[in-house]
Structure 1
Amino acid sequence: MSSEISIPEIAQRCDEIRSLLNQYVVGKDSLIELINVALLSDGHILIEGVPGTAKTTIAKAYAKILGYSFNRVQCAVDTQPADILGLRIYDQQKGEFVLRKGPAFANILLIDELNRLNPRTQSAFIEVMSERQVTIEGDRLSLPSPFFVMATQNPYEFEGTFPLIEAQKDRFMYSFTSEYLNPDEELEVLVRLGSGRLDWEKYFAYLEEHSGKADIFSLRDAVTSVHIEERVAAYIRDLVVATRSNGDISLGASTRASIAFYKGSKAVAALRGRDFVTPDDVRTIAPNILQHRMILRREAEIAGITLESVVSDIIRSVEVP
């Protein structure tokens, strides 16, 4: 193994992160689990759903726990590429142009309401997100490492929005649907508020004690040692290929989905304390990998069929090794 960290230690350290987050955040275990998978497999997440569901809080807390820098961009129709990536401005005192780096130069970047960006800015950001470097007036600059993006979009607002095209969605390794808390979780928020446990400043200061204790690079190195048998790799292939022949789908998943399965299922196995991948690990992240990469046929939409139901059907129909 190329890392001093063992597989059981990966699960232990990620459990510690989840425990720290749950002291402040309520009802977000599924998202926290997916973020752990994404960080371990070096992938970005696209989150679709309602606003006000603690996405910013979670991203900021992760950055603090890991000891990394954090920036947030609130997208708008008039946001230009330079507003995110940076530009050169003239410094009168120095008598020269100096580089002003944009918010993209952070380890953890939250792009809020990505679908409010105009198409030109969307394309520029997606390209930089994939290449992890910025070119400003001929100078090529690498983004910080690690570089992790959480992007959100609100599907319930259409005025002043520009939906991502499928090729852009495909650059996100994972997607997640964020929903409202259930009644018990909603009550827990109020109870914590009344007891003073939702004081962000106190919580942020508390996280200072744990800052930088998880070395993400060592964790990733350990995850690469997780073994995938050929029969499980073939199962991944069969799931992806099934999206391309499904009668309700007009556009299936690309090879990027296969790569995401391969990397993500290793992370899932490691989080479960195993050094080998099972078909169940693959199924666990199938919705997060497939749903945002497929397009329903018009007839299927009219019939009320959803991408979620199609993914479920595909998982049931593909033979498990």
Structure 2
Amino acid sequence: MNNGTKGARRAATLLVTAGAVLAASALTTPAQAATSTPSVKAKGAFLLNTASGATLYSKAADTKRQMASTTKMMTATVVLDTKGLNLNRKVTVKKTYRDYVTKEGASTADLRTGDKLTVKQLLYATMLPSGCDAAYALADAFGSGKTVAARKSSFIGKMNAKAGSLGMKNTKYDSFDGISSKGKNYTTPRDMSKLARHALKSSTFKTVVATKSTKQKATASSGKSRTYTWYNTNKLLGSYKGAIGIKTGTGTAAGPCLVFAASRGGKTVAGVILNDANRYQDAAKIMDAAFKSKSAKSMKLRVLPPTAQRD
């Protein structure tokens, strides 16, 4: 009789255990399925794990598209990868840079002719307000040649060389800031994610792109001090938990673009959204799938001051 009782108890235990496992599966499987393949409006999108390089999300990953001002990521990368780089080197702002912004109707850091800014300050001016004048200054300062045109061309050559070394096989640059006169400034979501992964290895790059706003004192043409105030156009910063950058971009042909990254629980992901009017929410949805969270549903985007640049 005791043996029969024990056997019944064991059978009951097995049934309860099996039921618990089935119940747990029923509870977790739909949630996991719901977060594994989010639907986004982007023409192209990609997400990777920055530590391993593993693909976490992919949509038209290898289709070439224009990238607008996300181009400036490579501008910053070429500068930061320069051997013997001196971030405190001062660069004098030329009228050429301001004239270019006016002619193109481009986003600007409002650099004043004759002011002297450090390379590091120009990186902030390029990446936060998406200053095409600042990007021009960097291209002119780090290109080679006797004329501004020659140095600009040389710098763009360095951008393409860097893309090649990073295995960005479907990327080509014909500008230092994303304003492409011939439409030959393109990339793919997968390629741009490779660049993001590489760029985030630089502590300076990480610091700059994670900054929501900054005030920088530069030497004015008069010799006195001038304070520049720049706001980051990336609205994910301060809106999505763990967001650490990276760069916005908007153009007629490119549409709204976004390169983004976030860290949670020791895991960092980086991704790309190309041509998507819903870029911030879709970027959040893709990252939520990786982090197994639901932040996108409750996310409220940071509001930029009226004086801030939009990109």
Relative to its length, the structure with more helix (as a share) is: 1
Which structure is higher in strand share? 2
Calculate the TM-score normalised by the size of structure 1: 0.28
Name the larger-Rg structure.
2
TM-score, normalising length: structure 2: 0.28
